[in-house]
Amino acid sequence: MTDTVQRGESLGAQIANVLRQRIVRGDVAPGERITEEALAEEFAVSRGPVRDALTQLSFEKLVRIQRPRGVFVVGLTRDDVDQLYSLRGALEQLALSRAIRVRDDARWAVMDDAVRRMTAAADAGDHAAFVVADLDFHSQIYALADHPRLEGAWRQYLPTFTALLDVTINHDDDLHDSAADHVALMNVMRSGDGAEAAEVLSAHLDGARDRMLSELTTQGS
């Protein structure tokens, strides 16, 4: 499989995105050895951006760097998925508890736009656009929280969750139910009912986790 990268955005980030998708989809198996040389040749770049990409994926626990032996794919286990979603749940529940205090309608406009884009993407069957709008929606919960360190923690793991969502969402022929879930979550957040909002968010993230666990089972069969 050969992918290309574009000049402009960080080459390391682009290479990391491609490799992350391959690992999450199961296109490369856990334990498989990858080399800087081969990746630099594939993407027609120097080793610097490749090294940056592998460092990022090592932080995300998707690869293990064992110099001088090389770099080995770790992949995702069921425990990894549980850890990722339990971490996200803790972060996002804290963000939500702060975001629901916001009463300025103008500050909710970005989330409202994300909901509209999800609905439009569902109507068009545009999975790629839906993924972007979905993650913009959740990122806005952190933005509304007015907690830069919390938002920074989310941003660190956002690429991983982007890859996870990209895998699971493409198995949905109809995206309208997912769009409706986000509308319901936004509405309960705006109502200011913290307990109900926390419950809705918990169910939403549990569903996302279970879908990814199901995907891992399919990959292993």
Task: Examine the pLDDT at 26 and tell me if it is beyond 90.
Answer: no
Q: CB atoms < 10 A from the CB of 26, how many? A: 16
C-beta contacts of 44-48 below 8 A and 24+ residues apart = 44/4, 45/5, 45/11, 45/15, 48/12
This prediction's pTM: 0.86
pLDDT classification of 69: cutoffs 50, 70, 90: confident
Q: Which residue has the higher pLDDT, 217 or 112?
A: 112
Mean pLDDT of 108-113: 97
- Residues 149-175 have pLDDT tens digits of 999 999 999 999 999 999 888 778 899
C-alpha count within 13 angstroms, C-beta hemisphere, residue 151: 14
The whole-angstrom separation of Cα 135 and Cα 115 is 11
> For residues 81 and 209, is the Cβ–Cβ distance under 8 A?
yes
